[in-house]
Amino acid sequence: MTEWVVLLHVTVAFAFVAGIVGRDLTLHKARTSEDVNVAGALVELAGRFERTLIKPGSFAVLLAACGLRSPATIASLAPAMSGFSCR
């Protein structure tokens, strides 16, 4: 079960970061665009990144991290996390 929670946490974190990078790149391209219609379409695309990946992803990363905070989970991950602190 622990491995599935870690996999879920990592997968959601990747999607969350991909949303942030996609939104930022899209907004940068909108700022540098000289066509107002293109800039408007890019800003709308950035909003889709925000609504579909960033907002739900931030909450999902938090929930998955809370699932990893149980003492049993930390004990089972201890050998793999020998150099990390859980505090």
Write out the residue range of the structural domain in which residue 39 sits. 2-69
Residue 63: the pLDDT is: 83
> In the chain, which residues have pLDDT < 50?
none
Tell whether 22 is covered by a domain.
yes
In a domain, 81, yes or no: no
Answer yes or no: pTM beyond 0.85: no
Q: Provide the sign of the torsion angle of the four alpha carbons 80, 7, 59, 75, taken in this order.
A: negative
Q: Is residue 55 part of a domain?
A: yes
Give the separation between CA 61 and CA 21, rounded to whole angstroms: 16
Identify the pLDDT of residue 85.
54
Q: What is the tally of structural domains in the chain?
A: 1
17 lies in a domain? yes
From 21, 20, 40, select the one nearest 30 (Cα to Cα). Answer: 40
Which token pair is 71? Answer: 């003492």
